[in-house]
């Protein structure tokens, strides 16, 4: 069994319509001019899958107790990484300092202004391009959309 998103007939119809609209907008190789971007929080913590984590031993009394334990912390160390990618290249990876929340001003200044704008100018030059981002609050802010 696999987990997956439940799609109703209405959802499927809406997705099909959006896909057809995108295909008609990006014909003749224009898809190569779409720049996708996102950020991801990576946590540094040992993962445990009880289904596949097994120990083969004839007598487990001789094994140290730590063999059977996986430690975890309430707030594990983590790193936030932002990147942009297109069919013809990718931006540099941007590592956001720990504790910095990506709000609209940080997003506009540190990422869009300092990283994305210079990269786009050198990569696309005067060619048209499309910037695709998700609907995170920092991305949807009115000041960001201008």
Q: What are the tens digits of pLDDT across the range 23-32?
A: 888 888 888 8
Does 88 fall in a domain? yes
DSSP label of 62: G
Number of domains composing the chain: 1
* pTM for the model: 0.68
Contact 113, 86 (CB under 8 A): no
The region of weakest confidence among 9-18, 66-75, 108-117 is 66-75
- Whole-angstrom CA distances from 42 to 56, 73, 89, 111 are 31, 15, 23, 18
Does 10 fall in a domain? no
Residue numbers of the domain that contains 112? 33-43+78-145
In DSSP terms, which residues pair with 81 in a beta bridge?
40, 95
């Amino acid at each position: 069994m696999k987990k997956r998103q439940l799609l109703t007939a209405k959802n499927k119809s809406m997705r099909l319509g959006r896909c057809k609209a995108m295909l008609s907008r990006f014909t003749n190789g224009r898809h190569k001019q779409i720049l996708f971007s996102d950020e991801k929080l990576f946590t540094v913590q040992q993962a445990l899958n009880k289904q596949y984590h097994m120990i083969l031993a004839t007598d487990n009394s001789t094994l140290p107790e730590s063999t059977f334990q996986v430690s975890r912390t309430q707030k594990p160390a983590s790193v936030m990484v932002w990147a942009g990618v297109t069919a013809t290249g990718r931006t540099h990876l941007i590592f956001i300092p720990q504790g910095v929340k990506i709000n609209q001003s940080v997003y506009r200044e540190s990422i869009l202004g300092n990283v994305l704008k210079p990269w786009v100018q050198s990569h696309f030059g005067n060619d048209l391009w499309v910037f695709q981002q998700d609907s995170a609050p920092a991305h949807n802010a009115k000041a960001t959309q201008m």
